Amino acid sequence: MEQIIIEPAQPGEVREASIVISHAFVTSPVPVAVMQGQDEKQRRRLEAMFRIVIGRMPGQVFLAKDQGRIIGVMRMVEATLPGCRLCRV
């Protein structure tokens, strides 16, 4: 039985994680509208954006791995909205 492992991302995994998540988002309606398409050019632009988001912006990034291969990416940031009651729960 195969097992999916979830673990924190390491600095050396940013590129591969960015590639995986860019493939997931390239056909999503918002990126398609913003980037005016969904071909390889737009996917590469998303990959570059995700490299910055995953590698440089604050937050925690977790990767889903199947036999060491990245198959999923999740990024979390702490919600700190002024006046937000849910943020204090």
Q: Name which of 72, 50, 75, 54 is nearest 63 in CA terms.
A: 72
pLDDT at 37: 87
SS3 of the chain: helix, strand, coil, percent, to 5: 45, 20, 30
Q: What is the pTM of this model?
A: 0.82
CA angle 69, 64, 86 (to 5 degrees): 160
Instruction: Name the residue range of residue 35's domain.
Output: 4-88
Q: What is the pLDDT of residues 20-77, one digit of tens each?
A: 999 999 999 998 998 888 899 999 999 999 999 999 998 999 999 999 999 999 999 8
Look at the chain and report how many structural domains it folds into: 1
pLDDT at 86: 66
